[in-house]
Amino acid sequence: MPPVRLGARTYDDSARLVMGIVNATPDSFYDRGRAYALAPALEQVAQMVADGADVIDVGGVKAGLGPEVTPVEEIARVEALVGCVREKHPDVAISVDTWRAEVARAVLPAGADLVNDAWGSHDPQLAEVAAEFGASLVCTHTGGLTPRTYTRRVRYPDLVGDVTRFLESLAERAIAAGVSPDRVVLDPGHDFNKNTWHSLELTRRLDELVRLGRPVLVAPSNKDFVGETLDLPVGERIEGTMATVAVCAWQGARIFRVHEVRQARRTVDMVTSIIGDRPPARVVRTLP
């Protein structure tokens, strides 16, 4: 597997990184605004780092439907938070979850290492800003969906082929814009312009995306495809999320974007040890 480069950090080909989600919004589907204010957000970050997060992903706009958030408001929500995280946790990598170039331009100097573009290069200038600051960039499959919109009855005659071609195109565009090839990360986009069958198939066939030779990020945490598969509400989807994380880790995913960092850290470490890339923390069973 290729190494992962985030900012000044390079993670070797055996590393599997846990990315903790911090929603600096008042209307997150998961925590309903728990990290909207700076102080509780920093408390959440500290706990995630203690629980084993390698990356902190800060977002200032809910992905789903909701009130409009202007670029100015989005910057106000995330810029200071990123700066504080960088000051308090110098060894952790920081990601900013945005599709807007102007937001990235404000937040990258504050200490972010990675731009997590969950909306498939809706703003074509975003890659240019990432390149300007030497940042890494997540390219996500959305099938051309407009940010914060929702479609029904989406169909893909060749789902994995469509996802692969879309992501290869985004990667090529990012590199042409100046992003270093070893700083491009691919995300299949679970639930984004996809139904539950689609997200399950992408999980099952993730190795086909891994074979493109770029680091793969997955973001299945507590999403609708988990809830629909198990018929569970948001607060009861942790087992389904971790099962998905384990399957994706086994198939070669490198970054796991999650709400429950402690459980994901243990899940990923166990899979990594089964694969043979991580020794057990201790071995005393049957020894004299």
- Give one DSSP letter per residue of 1-59, joined into a string: ---EEETTEEE-TT--EEEEEEE-SS--TTTTTTTSSHHHHHHHHHHHHHTT-SEEEEE
Task: Determine the pLDDT at residue 32.
Answer: 64
Active-site position among 5, 237, 257, 265: 257
Domain 4-275, CATH: 3.20.20.20
Q: How far apart are CA 48 and CA 91, in angstroms?
A: 13
Task: Determine the pLDDT at residue 55.
Answer: 98
Q: How far apart are CA 50 and CA 39, in angstroms?
A: 17
| 163-203 confidence digits (pLDDT tens) | 999 999 999 999 999 999 999 999 999 999 999 999 999 99
Give, in order, the Cα–Cα distances in Å from 232 to each of 149, 197, 228, 236, 240: 23, 16, 7, 6, 9
Determine the distance from the C-alpha atom of residue 226 to the mean position of all C-alpha atoms in its chain, rounded to a whole number.
17
Facing residues of 10 across strands? 5
Decide if 82 contacts 57 (C-beta within 8 A). Answer: no
Active-site position among 183, 194, 214, 223: 223
Task: Give the H or E element holding residue 93.
Answer: strand 93-97
Residue 94, both tokens: 């920081």
What are the extents of the domains in the chain? 4-275
Q: How far apart are CA 147 and CA 60, in angstroms?
A: 13
Q: How far apart are CA 255 and CA 242, in angstroms?
A: 13
Q: How far apart are CA 268 and CA 255, in angstroms?
A: 10
Q: Is 237 exposed, middle or buried (0-12, 13-18, 19+ CB in 10 A)?
A: buried
| 105-149 confidence digits (pLDDT tens) | 999 999 999 999 998 889 999 999 999 999 999 999 998 888 867
| 201-216 confidence digits (pLDDT tens) | 999 999 999 999 999 9
82: pLDDT confidence band, cut at 50, 70 and 90?
A: very high
25: pLDDT confidence band, cut at 50, 70 and 90?
A: confident
Task: Determine the pLDDT at residue 186.
Answer: 98
Q: How far apart are CA 86 and CA 27, in angstroms?
A: 25
Residue 191, both tokens: 């639930």
Model confidence, pTM: 0.95
**Is 88 a known active-site residue?**
no
**Is 223 a known active-site residue?**
yes
